[in-house]
Structure 1
């Protein structure tokens, strides 16, 4: 899967506290974990990521806000990156739109959230984009929460178009997904930028995205 993080900024240096690592998939020892506390810790982590950024997420701050012990955090997640990844897994960053009857309107519906400010969950994800260039756990979290769902949404829109009688070449579907992914990540990292208007989304779809699916609509090369 293509990542477009190499041209996006927002690198951040993070200092973490070394903690004992446990084998992936191993159950934490001791009594059963409280589902209520787990949810509270995830909510606190999401708030910190959304409002303060990845660089401010650490076990001391999470424990203090959740009024919990640090041991309770590390029984659930061996690192802050693992906690951030889990927090992302609890949200939906890409929603497949209802079938509108046309690829143009489907794409506009897919991008309709771009006409609103970033949600809390999107701000949390945005805070991880720079650091994910250097952290496999964070990169996996963004893959699971954004990259894979977006690719699935694009595939669904292409399948709908095929059912309408217009089969899109696989390479064109892949390119459409790559461009959308790059634009999605760019939106996450363009802090302070006002949301797009509905007209701007429609122009983006008509002038940039649709020509990808239909080379004959693209501007001829000179």
Structure 2
């Protein structure tokens, strides 16, 4: 939080402004977010917003970077169980924070602050979660080759972005999620077959 010299900033008002910002993003989108709308809904002055954040992007960065969208895999007895746990959100509609994040995906391509918010809220936590899947698999005596784990992380991330851009049509049933894990994600993690040369005819 930036702030300017003067009286201390109220943490209660800061939280209120952040909450209203997330509400507007989730309900109306990035294109409708501005200081007037935030001030009206928060019943606060615009000066109080700009004392804390110099731009709307800086405000959104602060709000979104605090999201905890990626669950930490734990308790599964297999890579399959861990992947289903990690991807379980696909069987539910986007929640408030996810809708807020989804609203800035397009704009983040052109704004460093918004891009950094996505990185902190999703990209890095997701990479950490996939790394944890690899660590747990190795502990079970089923290590995943680094190249395979990296590819798995890239594909999981791609599916995650798809979730935020597909809208309601992106939801899956439990059966569809299991099929995704069995037919797409697990094969990526498997050891590549050893090639012994061209087949003879």
TM-score bracket for this pair, using the shorter chain length: over 0.9
| Match in the other structure for 2:167 | 191
The TM-score normalised by the length of structure 1 is 0.84
Determine the structure 2 residue equivalent to 1:36.
12
Taking a change above 3 Å as real, the CA distance of residues 194 and 135 of structure 1, as seen in their structure-2 partners, is closer
1:215: Cα distance to partner?
Answer: 4.3
Gaps of at least 5 residues in structure 2 are 194-201
Q: What is the aligned counterpart of 2:64 among 84, 88, 93?
A: 88
1:170 shift after superposition:
1.3
**C-alpha distance 26-92 of structure 1, shift in aligned 2 (>3 A):** closer
Q: Which has the larger radius of gyration?
A: 2
What is the CA–CA distance in structure 2 between the aligned matches of 1:193 and 1:83, rounded to whole Å? 30
Counterparts of 1:13-162 in structure 2 under 5 Å?
27-162=3-138
CA deviation after TM superposition for structure 1 residue 27, in Å: 4.8
Aligned-partner Cα distance in 1 for 2:93–2:178 = 17
Say which structure, 1 or 2, has more relative contact order (CA 8 Å, 6+ apart): 1
The separation in 2 between residues aligned to 1:87 and 1:169, in whole angstroms, is 36
Show structure 1 runs of 5+ residues with no match.
Answer: 1-24, 218-222
Q: Distance in 1 between matches of 2:179 and 2:116?
A: 32
Instruction: Tell me if structure 1 keeps the 8 A contact 2:2–2:51.
Output: no
Residue deviations 1:38-61 (CA, integer Å, cap 9, x gap): 010001000000000000011110
- Structure 2 equivalent of residue 3 of structure 1: none
**Greater share of helix:** 2
Residues 117 and 65 of structure 1, relative CA distance in 2, 3 Å threshold: same
Q: Does 1:210 align with 2:200?
A: no
Deviation at 1:26, TM superposition (A): 5.6
What CA distance in whole angstroms lies between the structure 1 residues aligned with 2:37 and 2:182?
A: 46
Q: CA deviation at 1:210?
A: 0.7
| In structure 1, C-alpha distance between the alignment counterparts of 2:42 and 2:76, rounded to whole Å | 43
Distance 2:87 2:168 in 1: 19
Q: TM-score, normalised by structure 2?
A: 0.92
